[in-house]
Structure 1
Amino acid sequence: MSRPPRTSSTITKKLLVLTSALTLTACSQAPATQEGTQTASAPQTGFPVTVENCGRELTFDRPPSKVVTGYHPSLETLLALGLSDRIAGRTFFGESAFLPGQKEQYDKIPQISETIMLPQKEVMLAQGADFVLDNAMAGFDTAGGYAGVAELDAAGSPVYILGGWCSPEETLQYTLDKTFTDLRNLGKIFGVSERAEKLVGALQGSLADAKKRVEGRTPVKVLATDGGKGPVNAYGGSGVTNQMITAAGGVNVLADVKGDYTEVSVEEVSAAQPEAVLVSDYATLRGEDMPSSPAKAEEAFAIAKNSPAAKEKRYLALPVAAQHPGYRNILAITDIAAFLHPDAFTR
C-alpha cells in the first residue's frame, strides 16, 4: 500500500498517515448506546455556559452526557478529567502507548469506527451525540463523506476542536497554553471546573519543573522526523512539536522551515547536524508504509551520517498521539527533556 498523497492541511496529513494502515469499515458499525446517561430535564446549577471555539460560540444548558470522541488525544483528555461515564462512542486507537490506567477505560467504551477518524456521515449522525470532541477538522470534511460541523450542530451534536486546530493556519499558531484553555473550557462544559483547574495546576507544575531543570543548559539540536529516505517527513518551526522541543530544552534544527508536519530535502537534514532525533512512533501500526521507530531513526542517521546524533545513535520514540493537542503533549515534554538532558533528572 502506498502512502496517501499529502494535502494542504497539516492535521489531515498526519491523520491520513495513520489511517492508511487500517481498513475503513465504520459504515457497518451500529450506533453507540450509553446506559445511565443524564436525562434532559431541568437546567442544572451553573448552567447555561458559553465557550468559544473555532470562531463559534457554543452554549450548553446542561453537561453533555452522550459524547463521541475522535482521534485518541481527545478521548484521553476527557478520561483525565474523569469523564469516562459521559463517553458513548470512540474511534479506534491502534497504538499500544496508552497512558497509565486508560486502556481499561478505553476498552469499555463502544467503538464506532475502525480507524482513528470519526465514522462516515450516516453513522456519525446516528449516534445522537450531544457533544463531539476531536483535534482536527479532517473528520468533518463533507467532501470526504463525513458529517460537517454545521450538520452536527444542527443535529444537536456541537463540535469542539482541541488546540485551536481549526484551520491549517491556526494549526501553525498552536501554543502550549491552548491545552490549558481547552481543559478549562471542558471543565465549564461538563460542570467540573474545579476538577479541571486541579488538572491544569498539576500540568503547569510539571511543565514548570521540566523548564526549571533544563534552564541555563545549552539547548540540544533536535531533528523531529516521521521517517523517509527522501524527501524526509519532518517537523518545521511552527506547531506543537516545535513548541515541545523548545520547552524541553532543545532547539529544532528545522526551525527555519515553514510549517509543522512537512517534507524537507535530504540535503536540509544532512546539513542540520542534529545532536538528537525524535521519531514519531505509531507503536502497533506497522507494515510496508508504517516502518518501526528504530527503522525511521536509522533512515535519519543514514542521511545525517556525520552528525552527533548518528554517531551516538541517539533517538527517542515519541508517541504520535503526543504530537497532537491534548492532555498528553504537556506530559511528553518531561519525557523529551529527560531524554535531551538526562543529568538534569538524576536529582
Structure 2
Amino acid sequence: MIAELARALMAVALVSVTCNAHAAHYPVTVRSCNREVTFSRAPTRAVSNDVNLTEMMLRLGLRSSMAGYTGIGGWKTAQPSVRAELNGLPELALRYPSLEMLVASGADLYVAGWNYGMRVGGPVTPATLARFGIAAYELTESCAHVMPRPPASLDDVYSDLRNLGAIFDVEARAHALIAAMQSQVDAISRALGPKIERTRVFVYDSGEDKPFTAAALAMPTALIRAAGGRNVMDDVRQSWTQVSWESVIARNPQAIVIVDYGAVTADQKIRFLTGNPALANVDAIRLRRFIVVPYDAATPGVRNIDAIATIARGLHPALFAPGNALRTEGP
C-alpha cells in the first residue's frame, strides 16, 4: 500500500513538473510581418493553408494540434507522401477558406500568408480573424505584399520554423529541422565551389499572354542563387508577379525553371514555350534547357532543399555526375 502510494505521488509530481515546465514556456511572442503576436498557450485547433505551410506543420509533428487544412486539393499541389500523412485530417476548403468556414471549424490559429490563403483587402486577414478570437501567423516571404522587406532568402523559412516551434512549444524539433536543412545547403554549396559561373535563369509559373514568374522578393530567387544561378528577374522588386515576354527575351535566360502544379502540366508548359516563335532565339528555349520543380519545393517550406538540389543538377550537371554524387535527401 505504501509503495503504491509512493508511486502515485511520484506520478503526480512528474505530471506537475511537466505541466509547470510547459506553462513556463508561455506567454510567447513572435513576429509576424509587421505585427507581434502573443500566445498564452499552444494552439490546439490550428488550420494551415497551402501545401508548403501544411508540410511545415507536419514536419514539426503538429498534426494532432490541427483542426484541418485548406488550399491543397483545388491546386493539386500535394505529393502522394503528403496526402498519405494528411489522411483523416479534414480539408476544410479546396482553395482559399472563407471567414465563416474558419470560424465554424473552431480554429484558434490560421497559418497562412499573403497570396497563400489571404489577400490584401480580402475577407480573411489577421484583423478580421482577430474579431473571432483566431490568431494568424503569416508566412515570412509573403510579407513583401504588406511591408517593405529585403529579397527572399532561406532565412525566411528558418524564421517560420523557429516561430512555429515557439508557438507550439516544439523548439527542439524546429532547431533540428533547420540544422538538417542548413547542412544540406552547405553540402550543395561545397559541391558548386566558390567560383561557380552563375547561369541566367527564368522561372515560369504560368500564363501565355504574360508570364507569371518569381521576382526578387519570391523564394525561387534564393533557391536559384543557392543552386549556382541567378534569376533574370532579380531586379524586379516584387514577389510573384506578371512580366512581359519582351523582358524575358531581353534578359535571355540560359535555363528555365518550370513550376509544376495545377491543371496545366509541366510538359504542356514546355510545349507552349517551345512552340512560341517569339521565344525561339532565347538560349534556354533553343537549347531545350528546362528544369521542373514541384510547387511545394518552389514555395517557402521544408522541400526547398529538394528544389536547390534539382536546380543545381540542372544548371551544373558535370558537378553532380555519378562520380560526384551528392546526397540531398529531404529533412
TM-score by length of 1: 0.77
From 265, 282, 297, the equivalent of 2:270 is 297
Distance 1:220 1:58, change over 3 A: same
From 90, 98, 102, the equivalent of 2:82 is 102
The alignment status of 1:221 with 2:194, answered yes or no, reads: no
For the 8 Å contact 2:141–2:219, the answer to whether it is kept is no
Deviates further, 78-87 or 301-310: 301-310
In the other structure, the counterpart of 1:163 is 140
How many correspondences in the alignment? 298
For the 8 Å contact 2:50–2:116, the answer to whether it is kept is no
2:303 alignment partner, SS class? helix
Deviation at 1:171, TM superposition (A): 6.9
From 238, 262, 277, the equivalent of 1:259 is 238
1:240-285 Cα deviation digits (max 9, x unpaired): 1211111110122233334232333222222332221111211xx3
In the other structure, the counterpart of 2:93 is 113
The alignment status of 1:152 with 2:132, answered yes or no, reads: no
Deviation at 1:96, TM superposition (A): 5.6
From 329, 332, 338, the equivalent of 2:307 is 332
In the other structure, the counterpart of 1:321 is 296
Residues 185-200 of structure 1: matches in 2 within 5 Å? 185-200=163-178
Distance 1:269 1:143, change over 3 A: closer
Q: Which is bigger in relative contact order (C-alpha 8 A, separation at least 6)?
A: 1
Whole-angstrom CA distance in 1 between matches of 2:36 and 2:237: 31
2:133 alignment partner, SS class? coil
Gaps of 5+ in 1: 1-40
In the other structure, the counterpart of 2:5 is none
For the 8 Å contact 2:202–2:232, the answer to whether it is kept is yes
Report the structure number with the largest CA radius of gyration.
Answer: 2
The alignment status of 1:44 with 2:23, answered yes or no, reads: yes
From 227, 234, 245, the equivalent of 2:224 is 245
Deviation at 1:89, TM superposition (A): 1.1
1:275-309 Cα deviation digits (max 9, x unpaired): 21111211xx32xxxx3212222333334312332
Whole-angstrom CA distance in 2 between matches of 1:147 and 1:312: 44
For the 8 Å contact 2:296–2:303, the answer to whether it is kept is yes
Counterpart amino acid of 1:293? A
The alignment status of 1:131 with 2:109, answered yes or no, reads: yes
Distance 1:100 1:219, change over 3 A: farther
Q: Could you say what the CA RMSD is over the residues aligned between the two structures, in angstroms?
A: 2.5
Identical pairs, percent: 32
The alignment status of 1:183 with 2:161, answered yes or no, reads: yes
The alignment status of 1:70 with 2:70, answered yes or no, reads: no
For the 8 Å contact 2:51–2:77, the answer to whether it is kept is no
